[in-house]
Structure 1
Amino acid sequence: MRTLALSDEILMQVEKPARYIGGEINAVMKDPEAVKVRFAMCFPDVYEIGMSHLGIQILYGMLNSYDDVWCERVYSPWVDLDAIMRKEQIPLFALESQDPIRTFDFLGITIQYEMCYTNILQVLDLSGIPLLSKDRTAEDPIVIGGGPCTYNPEPVCDFFDLFYIGEGETRYRELIDLYEDCRGRGLSRQDFLKKAACIPGIYVPSLYEVSYHEDGTIKEMKPLEEGIPERILKEMVTEVSDTYYPDKPVVPFIKVTQDRVVLEIMRGCIRGCRFCQAGQLYRPVRERDVEFLKKYAIAMLENTGHEEISLSSLSSSDYQKLPELIDFLIEECSRRKVNISLPSLRIDAFSLDVMNKVQDVKKSSLTFAPEAGSQRLRNVINKGLTEEVILQGAKLAFEGGWTRVKLYFMLGIPFETEEDIQGIAELCNKIAAEFYDTVPKEKRNGRVQIVASTSFFIPKPFTPFQWAPQCRKEDFLNKAYLTRTAIMSQLNQKSIKYNWHEADASVMEGILARGDRKVNQVILRAYEKGCFYDAWGEYYKHDVWLENFEECGVDPDFYTVRERSEDEIFPWDFIDCGVTKAFLLREWKRAAEAVVTPNCRMQCQGCGAARFGTGVCFDKHTGVTEIQTETEENGNEGTD
């Protein structure tokens, strides 16, 4: 019988004890004596965030489908339990068995955002696992990093034994088989890591060394031994309808961020927004078969009891069988009295018609993401959205009965001017005016509500803006002040509410996003000084972080405000994400000229993703790709 790691007395002292007791619906229980490998899958944030992550649900179900593996879950304890565990010396434990994490064979940590880096150290520390990989022994789990932040793993490379670059469905079976073989033959931890480094998509940072120029930029990164690959090509599922998908996701006892069935309809995006890292990393577009989706929608609703289903993708409107899928879901969900959530839809007549069908008479707010206030700046970021389309979408929404609109913008975009910032206020005003022009006075129920929110632009690896400088904190705040002032001068200012993101955290995220190996020591020192849950504003300690950079002799401005030269070697250049650096550089130059690049279905741009032979990049009937655009201009780059 399972014994809880925490006593009733301790559970009564913490907020939401259900975060730690396990035993949820569809949680997998196995006999530890009947399996060969114990795998702890970690999301380094609070339970409610981690339980909402689809990637964990997929890997959890997939690994547990193997007879020889038991995968369990672990999340960062909230600050109240963290303090108790340290005081009482209680080791961090897995939810299913309540066994200490240190007794597992693997600890897999998904790294979804940079501001969770100190939480990774919290998980290792509470588990009793040495924070630095070089200090671990055969008694410690193999610590694996996965997720989007591993596309620049260098700022946290000292804390991981290996990284899995790309989508997790393809290589875990091979990695686990290798582990079982090495253990059966009595090979050492180091022997296993050397062999693992030869599996496609696996990066073992301890087997590489980095040298630097005098100015701090990277001179070279190379393997320490022969046979270790110089470049790591991302792993990718080519046929997403033939891969594992969980039909029995774990259902939490308490309300979590995404408290619903999640149906992933496609991977990748055709749009090519220049600021969007996900749009580059997950190329090419791969759509799930509509019959596959219908089958899993029914199965997950029946196996979870959830009262809502949500479509998941980067741009749901671009799923080609969306009308058929929506018609099916409307009929099925109406019969089951289940709500439908439709994020990532473009605001057009079809989308609004669909939302009219799935929402109650009492309309919720609609969300637009113009990202920039002026057409010139939207062209810079390749948003592919005109003011005419935005206003027409707003008009249709107001005609349909919506009276609240959320607008998302970014400040600090490369090549931004004060006129572009003024454009945010002017666009908000025009949308408000559209309401008053569209809806007769007798049908209005008060004012229209326009909620404008600005985040601060952060250049990310593997985007055309990876060469761009980032604004300083003071610049961000000045831009937010200009935005607020401009909104207050508009005719419809009383209908507009303005919010902006925290500047301190945005600057730090920019440092961690484009950092190199030198940043490891800063993160370690920050954790030793009590920093964790940095993604939560009330716990983020910006002054402490700045002190750590100074004490470690690392200049934070080197990673943010400095513009990169075209030929600079980036810390992440040893990774091949499928999109070539030459393509990204070409897009960076087009951004400077505010030139729009057509989306992937309109015209192939030769980004390099056609190498994978799938999605919109590949004609399955002829086998012809259009990669020549890239290769003719740039030699053989992109034809691996």
Structure 2
Amino acid sequence: MRKLALSDEILLSIEKPARYIGNEVNSVMKDKEQVDIRVAFCFPDVYEIGMSHLGIQILYDMFNQRDDIWCERVYSPWTDLDKVMREKHIPLFALESQDPVKEFDFLCFTIQYEMCYTNILQVLDLSGIPLLASERTEEDPIVIGGGPCTYNPEPLADFFDIFYIGEGETEYFHLMDLYKEYKAKSLSRKEFLHDAAKIPGIYVPSLYEVTYKEDGTIESFAPVCSDIPAVIEKQIVMDVTDTYYPKAPVVPFIRATQDRVVLEIQRGCIRGCRFCQAGMLYRPLRERDLSMLKDYAITMLKNTGHEEISLSSLSSSDYSELAGIVNFLIEHCEGQGINISLPSLRIDAFSLDVMSKVQDIKKSSLTFAPEAGSQRMRNVINKGLTEEDILRGSGEAFAGGWNKVKLYFMLGLPTEEDEDIKGIAYLAEKIAEHYYEIPKDQRNGKCQITVSTSFFVPKPFTPFQWAPMNTHEEFLGKAYTVNHTIKDQLNKKSIKYNWHEADVTLLEGLLARGDRRIGRTILKAYENGALYDAWSETFHYDIWLKAMEETGISYDFYNFRTRTFDEILPWDFIHIGVTRKFLEREWERAKQGIVTPNCRQGCSGCGGRSYGGGVCYED
């Protein structure tokens, strides 16, 4: 019988003990004596958030299909258990076997958000694994990082043995087979890492050297060995139909953030929004076959017992067989009490017709993401959405019975002016006016519009990667302008306004575009008590400010200055398919407010067209 790593006494003393006991439906148990490689996959946040992440579910299923590999899961312990584990010297453990993570061959992190960086150090620390890769021995697991944040891995370079650049279905098994070979020959960790660096998409930071100019910018970035690549190529799956996807995903014991079957209908996006990192990283667009989706939908619902299924995509409306999969699900789910969730839809007549069939209008709200308040700014960011589109969509929604609308915007975008900021309030007012133009006897109660603004962070591999960020005072000043302008509107009682924390945004910007020197700041912040920085109740900005001061790091250098095209950026050694020339051209077009057509309207020559043997729509 499997013995739990935590005693009953400890489990009864902490919040949500089901986070740590494992043994959920569809979790995979193996005999550890019968496998050659043990892998722990970690999402560095609480169980409920980590269990909602599709990427880990895919890789968990993929790895466990091999008889010689046992893949288990691990998440960051919440602060209550963290305290107990440190006091009682309990090592961090994997959920399936409850064995210490330090006993595994690999510890793999998926890194989705910069504000989880200190949680990565927490997991290493509680596992008894040295935080610095340079201090690890043959007794320690190989620590690997993957996910969107690894497209600038440099702030975390000191803490990882390997970064996997790209989609995990491509080269992970080559890495595992290499490890088996080295393990059988009892070769060293150093020898394994050197040969691993020759596998496409594998970046071993210890084998690359960075030098800096007097002004703090990068002078050179190069491998220290001649037989490993100077440029790391992103790895992608071109055939997303005939590849790995879990038919029986693990079902959590407690409600996860997304407690539903997730059906990924496509990867990539045709839209080309200039602020969107995912839209650039995951090009080219690749669709899953409709028959495959139908089969997996039925099987996954049966194997999980979930009462909701979500169609996952960066832009679901662009899936060419959307009508087919939606109509199939409506027909299949009718009378079974299964809800259908359709995120990332563009609000048009088809989408509204679909949502009216699958949602309870009285309980739901519609979400629009105009991103900017004025048409000028929407052109700058290449949103491809006009005010006419927004008003027509909201009008059709109101006529269909909806009365709740959520609007998402960004503040601090490049070239932003005062009228663009006020335009957020003006647009919300126009939408409210649209509602109250409907005859009173045809309205569904009072109109409720929620306006939310986040503060803009320029991300690597976007056309805005060279742009400066706003200061703390500028961000808050712009939020005040929106708030004040909304309060001046005729329909102010129908409009609610929320905005993001400026201090969190500044730190996210530092971590997103930082270089290797940021690593010492992350380490210092963790040593001083920073943890769960993505959670407002546990985020302590003063700890980070002190860490920056102690390590000589300045927002002025990393956040507030404009980069030039001739500067070497910390992530320039990675090739994602989209070319630097395209990003430079899009940055210039943004400053001129010129819209670039989406991929269906015409190829923009981004480089993703032929990357990895891929094709675009017009092919």
Contact 2:361 2:402 in 1 (8 A): no
1:220-242 CA-to-partner distances (Å, cap 9, x unmatched) read 10000110100000000010001
How far has the Cα of 1:361 moved from its partner? 4.8
Which residue does 2:192 correspond to in 1? 192
Q: Which residue of 2 aligns with 1:245?
A: 245
* Distance apart, 1:538 and its partner CA: 1.2
Change (3 A) 1:309 1:615: farther
Equivalent residue letter for 2:377? L
Q: Are the equivalent residues in 2 in contact too, given 1:284–1:614 (CA < 8 A)?
A: no
Within the alignment, does 1:522 sit opposite 2:546 as a pair? no
**Residue pairs, 1:416-427, within 5 angstroms:** 416-427=416-427
Q: CA deviation at 1:387?
A: 0.1
Matched with 2:616 is 617
Q: What amino acid sits opposite 1:481 in the alignment?
A: Y
Aligned to 1:16: 16
| Whole-angstrom distance in 1 between the partners of 2:485 and 2:434 | 19
- How many Å apart are 1:541 and its aligned residue? 1.1
Q: String of CA shifts for 1:243-298, please: whole Å, max 9, x gaps.
A: 10000000001001010000000000000000000000000000000001001001
CA displacement at 1:73 relative to structure 2: 0.1
1:153-552 correspondence runs (5 A): 153-437=153-437, 439-552=438-551
SS in 1 for 2:91: coil
Listed as ranges, the matches of 1:547-586 within 5 Å are 547-586=546-585
1:315-353 CA distance string (max 9 Å, x none): 000000001111101001114321100000110000000
Structure 2: distance between partners of 1:331 and 1:616: 33
Q: What's the counterpart of residue 41 of structure 2? A: 41
Structure 2 counterpart of 1:544, one-letter code: I
Deviation at 1:615, TM superposition (A): 5.6
CA contact (8 A) 1:610 1:618 kept: no
Aligned equivalents of 1:157, 1:485: Cα separation in 2: 44
Tell me: CA distance 1:593–1:517, structure 2 relative to 1, closer, same or farther (3 Å): same
Pairing of 1:80-119 with structure 2 (within 5 A): 80-119=80-119
Equivalent-residue separation in structure 2 for 1:541 and 1:549 (angstroms):
13
1:408-436 deviation per Cα after TM superposition (whole angstroms, max 9, x unaligned): 00000000000001100100000000001
1:576 maps to amino acid: H
Distance, in Å, in 2 between the alignment partners of 1:10 and 1:560 is 43
Shift of residue 539, structure 1, vs aligned partner? 1.0
**In structure 2, how many angstroms separate the alpha carbons of the residues matched to 1:329 and 1:44?**
33
Query: What is the one-letter code of the residue matched to 1:379?
Result: N
Aligned equivalents of 1:588, 1:377: Cα separation in 2:
13
How far apart are 1:445 and its partner, in Å? 4.5
Equivalent position amino acid for 2:257 in 1: T
Tell me what 1:59 maps to.
59
Other-structure match for 2:601: 602
CA separation in 2, counterparts of 1:357 and 1:614?
39
CA contact (8 A) 2:287 2:319 kept: yes
TM-score relative to the length of structure 1: 0.96
* 1:361–1:370 distance in 2 versus 1, CA, 3 Å: closer
Q: Which amino acid aligns with 1:224?
A: V
Question: Identity, % of aligned pairs?
Answer: 68
Other-structure match for 1:130: 130
Q: Which amino acid aligns with 1:431?
A: I
Gaps of 5+ in 2: none
Give yes or no for contact 1:34–1:68 (8 Å, CA) kept in 2: yes
TM-superposed deviation, 1:363: 4.3
For the residue of structure 2 that corresponds to 1:176, the secondary structure is helix
* Distance in 2, Cα, partners of 1:553 & 1:423: 39
13-22 vs 439-448, which moves further = 439-448
1:137/1:166 CA distance change after superposition, 3 Å: same
Rounded to whole Å, the distance in 2 between the matches of 1:361 and 1:413 is 34
Instruction: Write the deviation string for residues 540-595 of structure 1: whole angstroms up to 9, x where unpaired.
Output: 11111111111111222211001001111100000001111110000000000000
**Residue type of the partner of 1:492?**
N
Q: State the distance in 2 between where 1:611 and 1:194 align.
A: 30
Query: Cα distance 1:112–1:239, how it changes in 2: closer, same or farther (>3 A)?
Result: same
SS in 2 for 1:311: strand
Cα deviation, residue 443, structure 1: 2.9
Q: Report the residue type matching 2:248 in the other structure.
A: K
Distance 2:30 2:226 in 1: 41
Query: Following the alignment from structure 1 to structure 2, what is the Cα–Cα distance between the partners of residues 226 and 424?
Result: 53
Unaligned runs of 5+ in 1: 621-640
Q: Secondary structure at the match of 1:482?
A: helix
SS at match of 2:13: coil
On the 8 A contact 1:119/1:533 being kept in 2, the answer is yes
Alpha-carbon contact 1:456-1:501 (below 8 Å) kept? yes
Q: Name whichever of 271-280 and 549-558 sits farther off.
A: 549-558
- Deviation of residue 440 (structure 1)? 1.0
| AA aligned opposite 1:3 | K
Question: 2: distance between equivalents of 1:361 and 1:19?
Answer: 34
Separation in 2, partners of 1:566, 1:147: 26
| CA distance 1:145–1:591, change in 2 (3 Å) | same
The number of aligned residues is: 619
CA–CA distance in 2 between the matches of 1:593 and 1:125? 49
> 2: CA distance between counterparts of 1:31 and 1:251?
21
Structure 1 residue 14: deviation in Å? 0.4
Equivalent position SS for 1:586: helix
Distance in 2, Cα, partners of 1:448 & 1:614: 49
Pairwise CA distance, 1:614: 5.7
Counterpart residue type for residue 373 of structure 1: G
| SS at 2:340 equivalent | strand
Match of 1:537, SS state, is coil
